Amino acid sequence: MKQTIIVSGGSVDDAFVKQTIDTEKPDCLIAADAGIHFFYRNQIMPDVIVGDFDSADDGARAYFENRPEITFVRLDPVKDDTDTESALRLAIRMGAEQVTLLGATGGRIDHLLGNIELLGIGLTEGVPVTITDPCNRIRMTDTGLVIRRAEQFGTYVSLLPYTPQVTGLTLRGMKYPLTEYCLKGFCSLGISNEITGEEGVISFSDGILLVIESKDA
């Protein structure tokens, strides 16, 4: 299984999620706990449902749980990780080569920050993981990225150091270029850049970088 989409329990724009599913044509659809509500509302069958179901509606859960084609993974509510992390780790164990997290933003800031932390699992496991919502695409990289202008998500590209510093940061094809710059935390220098060439090239020598493509709502 190559492409997996996980729908979590944050803010879910049904039209956006359905469009993403239609575009990416995933090999596997996973509902993480309250993410089950999206599938229930839209009568879409997930392949896997994961959660302790402390935030899932009983009616939605009952609708799916007796269907033999759906794999149900019930988690102990007293656990060290979130339902979304469990779903992501399960997806990787099942052979996912690329994962898109939907419903991972909005609402509680602690859950948003926790979900951004999960991007690091993709780095350590060698599986690209992306958080996407109608206004943002968030990725984490330790090797740099090339973003083609024709394929970018939104208007702006913002860069935030995930490690204390990202050294040798060089930006080409962008409105605000940099050459061998040391980007440190506790500043907003990397916010709201724009791709002006055919592609924006982000490279650096050491560190981990959050790359956020965004547009105004």
pLDDT digits (tens, 9 = 90+) for 61-97: 788 888 888 888 888 776 768 899 999 999 999 999 9
Per-residue pLDDT band for 30 (boundaries 50, 70, 90) equals very high
Please check whether residue 159 is in contact with residue 184, taking contact to mean a CB–CB distance below 8 angstroms: no
> What's the pLDDT at 33?
87
Q: Are residues 190 and 90 located together in one domain of the fold?
A: no
Q: Are residues 22 and 129 located together in one domain of the fold?
A: yes
> What's the pLDDT at 158?
98
Per-residue pLDDT at 25 exceeds 90: yes
Per-residue pLDDT at 56 exceeds 70: no
Question: pTM of the prediction?
Answer: 0.93
> What's the pLDDT at 174?
97
The last residue of one of the domains, among 92, 115, 134, is 134
Q: Are residues 159 and 91 located together in one domain of the fold?
A: no
The last residue of one of the domains, among 114, 134, 154, is 134
DSSP the chain: --EEEEE-SS---HHHHHHHHHHH--SEEEEEGGGHHHHHHHT---SEEEE--SSS-HHHHHHHHT-TTSEEEE--SS-SS-HHHHHHHHHHHTT-SEEEEES-SSS-HHHHHHHHHHHHHHHHHT--EEEEETTEEEEEESS-EEEEGGG-SSSEEEEEESSSEEEEEEEESBSS-EEEEEEESS--TTSSB-B-SSEEEEE-SBS-EEEEEE---
Q: Are residues 88 and 126 located together in one domain of the fold?
A: yes
Q: Are residues 112 and 182 located together in one domain of the fold?
A: no
The last residue of one of the domains, among 134, 159, 179, is 134
Residue 105's CATH number: 3.40.50.10240
> What's the pLDDT at 75?
81
**Matching residue, tokens 């409105």:** 175
Q: Are residues 113 and 158 located together in one domain of the fold?
A: no
Q: Could you tell me the residue range of the domain that residue 34 belongs to?
A: 3-134
Residue 196's CATH number: 2.60.120.320
* Total tally of structural domains belonging to the chain: 2
Q: Are residues 57 and 130 located together in one domain of the fold?
A: yes
104-157 pLDDT tens trace: 998 889 989 999 999 999 999 999 999 999 999 999 999 999 999 999 999 999
